[in-house]
Each structure stands twice: as structure tokens, then as C-alpha cells.
Chain A
């Protein structure tokens, strides 16, 4: 069951309906030591910013029953260095590369897109939409579409229908529902971060059931998918593909083995 993402001018074909979420597999070289990337439908890079980003100090990974709250600050060496270090090997991978863009504002997004024009190995983009932009993403998506490659918008699981529709109407090739944000108390302070883990699975399944029939573009859901059966259920519920996160840190090879999905 392949998935085709289109920009109107170029298309990306995901031979398998599953991909990793940004923030799970690095920029490709890291993950090659742990799993066969050819088992993915597409490889989504970790979020890339224009300038290098340092990690949160300290990063927080707070485990709780049913899941994990993670705050890393999305460390990355900046787009130019990511491209220099990793892009030459992207061509040899058997999967499309979707570069995840982390921009602070429209100006940065525009520059990221400009720089990616010289990187043909990037088959498409995953665009992280800041919360303040999610309801009115037209300008951001327009900027990203100037690359003329498919743009997938990344919105948190639990996003209201109107925001997902706004992305679709603005020209997104697909909507990817990624980890929702949450907060936990730690050392008398609030720690905010992305949520992962099995407890999210019913939310992912419900999102597939509710949103997929309405959205005019493919919906990729993620959250708590821990078994191939979970993934199959999301696909049967209407998702065009599933996003994998914490399971790739736990048992990637066994999970992605083709026979597990049969």
C-alpha cells in the first residue's frame, strides 16, 4: 500500500505506509547502525534549523506510567552542516528523505527553503508549524512550497480539525500528526515537552477515525504505535500512513520486519 505525496510539480512515493517521526532517527547516519532504513517508507530527518541549536540544558526525559515526556531542544548542527555531513549518503538510501524544517519565523523558513534548493536529495519537507501559526499556516506553507517539493505539515496529535483543514487548504501534501505536548512537575518546576508512549495509541486511532475521512489530503497519524497490529488498525481507520516514534528506540528491526506487517 504505497502513499504518493505531491507538490503539484513533483511527487514522492512512499512504498511502505510508515515513516519515522522527526526526532527519532537523527539525520540518517546515526540510525544506520541500528536498523535497515530501507524498511521505512520514508526517512524523516531530525528537525533542522538554519543556525546550529544546542540541546536543552539539561535535556529532560521524564518517564511516567504509559509514556515519556521528552524535551531535548532539538539540537542540530544547522542546515548547512547537516547537508554537508549527511546528504551525500542520502542518495544511496533506498527511501525518500523528508527534511524536517524547524524555523523560528518566516524569514528563517524562507532561507532554509532557499538553501535546500541546492539539495536534490531532499525529496520533500516536513514543516514544523509553531502553535501560533497552526490555525493560519498559509504563509508558512506557501514559503515551503516554493521548493516545489511535497510539504507535509507536522501538527501535534489532538490538533483540532480546523487547523488540519487550514494546512490542507494552504497546500500541504499531507498532514502528519506528531507527539502532543504535555507537562510534568520535576524538582518543584514544570517541565514541558513532547509526549511519547503506549498511552497515546487510542488518541492516534481516534484521530485517524475522525480526521481522515474529512481531510482532503492524506493523514499520517502517530502516537503510541507499539505493534504492527496498532499500525494496521490506524491504516484501517483511515490513516494513509503511520508515524513511528518510541518503538524505533526499542525494537526497530523486529518491528519493521516485513513479515510482521503481513
Chain B
């Protein structure tokens, strides 16, 4: 397990992401990296006294954008310490050239860093779903159903909240997704408290039992959640 480190950052600016949702842009140490799909824990001053698990929506050298509430009181220059990176991120096969992405969310913000990585690699990307029309680059084709892109793709990346996971697994089975037939990964977003497997709050059931999203996820091979014949996991 990779140690979770405290990362000193500073608020660079507040802005909007590609979907027009509010983000907090942070200055990060120059050599610091985070993979698409990995989470961070940030102290947003929540009165519950805990860190908030957040999935970056933009990652650039020295800069990280986190989703925040519109009424945030952060100001440029404020320090903000992160615990990061949390868990494992997306690992698209290096040779993959045709990516199919889908999300359980109406606004697929957690997939934005992977989208950017794909564009930088020059791969073709199809998004299955109905994201806000203005949010995705024009080079990304949008289809309404997952099965419309399955035969074409050589890599499938999915994003689901833990709550929406059972429904997504059912729809995957309906779309004919068979675990062993495709390089496929899924990000399962759950609440994360500690970030290193101590508290058990982020447990997610899969086909073989369960895993802790903060250390064995949040990105997992889809095969770990689907049985071989495409039925959903436990």
C-alpha cells in the first residue's frame, strides 16, 4: 500500500469546470502527481470535523481542481492541506486506442481527468450517456447507450457512486458486458473517512466479497464486480 501523504497546497483561484460547476484550483508541489480516478481528502472546514473525500476534476502540472460547493468561503492564497493520493486510479492499457466512458452521474465530473489524459494520448473517446451538452470537448462522440460503443471500444472506463452501483451493474449486464471480454475498469465513489483502510466506512461489495475503496479502489477492474457471465456481483 502506498502511504497517504499530507500535501501542502494553496488556493490559486476559484472557477468553473468544463461543465460549469464550481471548482477550487489549488497550487500543488511541482513534482506531485495524481492518477485519474484517485481521490484526495481535504479539510473544507466541514462542521462534522472530518476531511471530505473529493475527486479532482482537473489535473495539470502544479495545479489541481477540486469540486466545491458554490458558497465556498475559500480565497486565493489560503493554505489547504490534502491527504493524497487515496487509492488506485484508472490504468488504461497502454496500447488501447478506443475508449468508451460512462457514468452513473448526470454530470460526469470524476471522469474529466481521464478524458483529458485520453485526449493527450490521442485516443478516440466515446461517451455513453447524456452529459450536459457543453461539457465535453467536440472531439468526443456521445452515444446514448453503452451497447452502442461496446463492440468498437478496446477499453471501458466507468464511474459510479456506491449507491448507484447495483443499478449500473444491472444495466451493464443488460448491455451485454461480460467481465472477461474487455479491458474495463470502474471507479466506485464512496464516502472515505481515513483513507488508509482503518475505519471500514468505504467498503464496497463485489463479486468475490468486498473491498475497501480507499486502499483496494476506488478504481477496480470491472471483472471484480461482475461474474464471468455478466451477472452482477454479491
Same complex for A and B? Answer yes
Binding site for B on A (CB under 8 A): 23-26, 30-31, 33-34, 46, 54-59, 61, 63-68, 70, 72-75, 196-198, 224, 226, 246-251, 253
Contacts of A251 in B (CB 8 A): 43
Tell whether A34 pairs with B3 under 8 Å between CB atoms, given A65-B48, A75-B200. yes
| Segment among B106-114, B134-142, B151-159, B201-209 that sits at the interface with chain A | B201-209
Instruction: Give the docked Cα–Cα distance between A63 and B199 (Å).
Output: 15
Tell whether A24 pairs with B47 under 8 Å between CB atoms, given A58-B162, A58-B163, A249-B193. no
Tell whether, in the assembled complex, residue A70 and residue B3 are in contact, meaning their CB atoms are under 8 Å apart.
no
| Residues of chain B in range 184-200 having any CB-CB distance to chain A below 8 Å | 190-191, 193-200
Contacts of A31 in B (CB 8 A): 196, 198
Contacts of B198 in A (CB 8 A): 24-26, 30-31, 34, 46, 248-249
Instruction: Give the docked Cα–Cα distance between A196 and B85 (Å).
Output: 25
Tell whether, in the assembled complex, residue A75 and residue B49 are in contact, meaning their CB atoms are under 8 Å apart.
no
**Most chain B beta-carbon contacts within 10 A, residue among A34, A46, A64:** A34
Binding site for A on B (CB under 8 A): 1-4, 6, 43, 46-51, 162-163, 190-191, 193-205, 209-210, 215
Among A46, A70, A73, A246, the residue within 8 A (CB) of B49 is A246
Among B1, B48, B195, B201, the residue within 8 A (CB) of A72 is B201
Tell whether, in the assembled complex, residue A226 and residue B48 are in contact, meaning their CB atoms are under 8 Å apart.
no
Q: In whole Å, how far is B120's beta carbon from the nearest beta carbon of chain A?
A: 31
13 sampled A-B residue pairs with Cβ under 8 A: A24-B194, A30-B197, A33-B2, A46-B198, A55-B205, A55-B210, A59-B201, A68-B50, A70-B199, A70-B201, A246-B49, A247-B49, A249-B195
Kindly report which residue of chain B lies nearest to residue A20, judged by CB atoms.
B198
**Most chain A beta-carbon contacts within 10 A, residue among B1, B4, B47:** B47
Contacts of B200 in A (CB 8 A): 23, 46, 55, 59, 72-75
**Most chain B beta-carbon contacts within 10 A, residue among A59, A70, A224:** A59
Tell whether, in the assembled complex, residue B194 and residue A34 are in contact, meaning their CB atoms are under 8 Å apart.
yes
Contacts of A253 in B (CB 8 A): 6
Tell whether, in the assembled complex, residue B43 and residue A250 are in contact, meaning their CB atoms are under 8 Å apart.
yes
Tell whether, in the assembled complex, residue A249 and residue B203 are in contact, meaning their CB atoms are under 8 Å apart.
no
Q: Kindly list the 10 A-B residue pairs having the minimum CB-CB distance in the complex, ordered from nearest.
A: A55-B203, A72-B200, A30-B197, A26-B198, A249-B194, A63-B48, A61-B191, A33-B3, A61-B201, A198-B49
